[in-house]
Amino acid sequence: MKNILLLSQLKSYFYQFVNSIWQILTYRLRSALILGTVLSLCLVLFGCQGTTQKDNNVIHLTLWQGINPPVNRDVFQKLVDKFNQTHTDIQVESIFAGSLDQQLPKVLTAVVGKSPPDILSFYPQVTGQLIELGAILPLEDWLEKLPIKSEISPNLFEELKLDNHLWSIPLYTSNMGIFYRPKLFQAAGITQTPKTWSELRQVAKKLTIDRNGDHRPEQHGILLPLGKGEWTVFSWFPFLLSAGGEVVTNDKPNLTNAGAIAALQFWQELLKDGSATLSLPERGYEEDGFIAGRVAMQITGPWSYITKSDIDYEVFPIPASVGQVTVTGTGNIYLMKTTPAREQAALKFLEYILSEEFQTEWSIGTGFLPVNLKSTQSAAYQKFVQQRPWLKVFIEQMPEARARPIIAGYNRLSDNLGRAIEATLLGESPQKALKVAQQRLELIWNSK
């Protein structure tokens, strides 16, 4: 049944693609080019398989990734080149396969067609789906034998494990905090950053300013992400965790608990106060309003474009309700099931990714946090942090950071949770929005 549903989903993606090409091409070019376009897609989907080529006993591996922005891809490519230069028997080809959401259909197609890459870089919430397809290999036996295991940040393992197996390694990590504009805080007479939800609500009110009295503030205290996508869910998760909430209990959806309701209620109260403004739909990651001074606070992480701007900014931890906690934003690396020779070669690259050398250069080049503790403590990284003291907030939050679930079906859970968050931001009661989402999810889970 699962294979039938998956094939149906892939057919849908394929037909959507062909229809889009048909609409774009001109009438005269259609008949000549459409066949070539479709064949090209098939080559991309099925021809990118990592093959074992014997060129003087060199194993050639393919790695699919969706690293953005391009400057971060450049950093990654330089590190891949270093590996290739020092491993004459293994050559890794890093392929940008598109942004992660766009890449998922391609990954699923490659797996079903038995043409996967050797290594996959993806977000950890796809773990359960890859396990169901038998596409990835567990890594605990391999990692247990490596001294480097003790160097990995301990709380990252929550996002790597499912069903008592370790299914991936972290490429990078990060977490959510709140960026703010110190000059706007000073102008509003705010001398301390908020540490609780109540204080955050008070501060957001003070930072909301209607200068011309038209009841349309020119400046809002905080931006909340409107939409049902993963960014909205990701941004809301620290508040869920801080309230002691959860979305999964015993591997089943649980959206109607008191913590989830409280976290949604808090976001809705910020809107009712007039202290929060909503982003454009599914654009909650955009920071234009913050950079322009129309928004005083924004929920985001150390990867933010804010850090590359010339404006004044600082960061404070996610304020606490029941407890102080944030959510991890991790990118993982998977060992795909191919052949023993290619799998063993790929494991050497995975060990390199976890190394202090890789993690230090990668983190300094991209702004993500190292997953290797020695890298975090290294002189080079400490110098980097001294030049960017706001990074300390994210580093100090890591011990309290927790992960989103990686169960099979997380995409469906996230979609329905996102719909509940969106409905609440648009005026629905949190209780009703979460109840409706829970009922939809129970129908899906009970039909498995």
* Averaged confidence pLDDT in the chain: 88
> Does a cis peptide bond (omega within 30 degrees of 0) precede residue 319?
no
Q: What is the DSSP string of 309-351?
A: SSS--EEEPPPBSSS--EEB--EEEEEB---HHHHHHHHHHHH
At residue 172 the predicted structure's pLDDT band, cuts being 50, 70 and 90, is very high
Phi, psi (deg, nearest 5) at residue 283: -130, 30
What are 26-82's pLDDT values in tens digits? Answer: 333 333 333 344 434 443 444 444 444 446 789 999 999 999 888 899 999 999 999
User: Taking the alpha carbons of 438, 444, 447, 448 in that order, is the dihedral positive or negative?
Assistant: negative
Once rounded to an integer, what is the mean pLDDT over residues 173-197? Answer: 97
Once rounded to an integer, what is the mean pLDDT over residues 225-251? Answer: 95
- Write the burial class of residue 84 (CB in 10 Å: 0-12 exposed, 13-18 middle, 19+ buried): middle
How many helices (H) and strands (E) are present in the chain, helices listed first?
18, 16
Tokens of 428: 């629905």
- 3-state SS, 133-144, equals CCCECCCHHHHH
Q: Is the pLDDT score of 444 beyond 90?
A: no
d(CA 448, CA 301): 36
**Is 17 strand, coil or helix?**
helix
Is 231 within 8 Å of 123 (Cβ atoms)? no
What are 324-339's pLDDT values in tens digits? Answer: 999 999 999 999 999 9
Once rounded to an integer, what is the mean pLDDT over residues 421-438? Answer: 97
pLDDT at residue 447, rounded to an integer: 72
Once rounded to an integer, what is the mean pLDDT over residues 308-314? Answer: 94
At residue 305 the predicted structure's pLDDT band, cuts being 50, 70 and 90, is confident
pLDDT at residue 448, rounded to an integer: 61
What are 363-390's pLDDT values in tens digits? Answer: 999 989 999 999 999 999 999 999 999 9
State if pTM tops 0.85.
Answer: no
Q: Is the pLDDT score of 100 beyond 90?
A: no
- Write the burial class of residue 44 (CB in 10 Å: 0-12 exposed, 13-18 middle, 19+ buried): middle
Phi, psi (deg, nearest 5) at residue 59: -95, 120
pLDDT at residue 55, rounded to an integer: 62
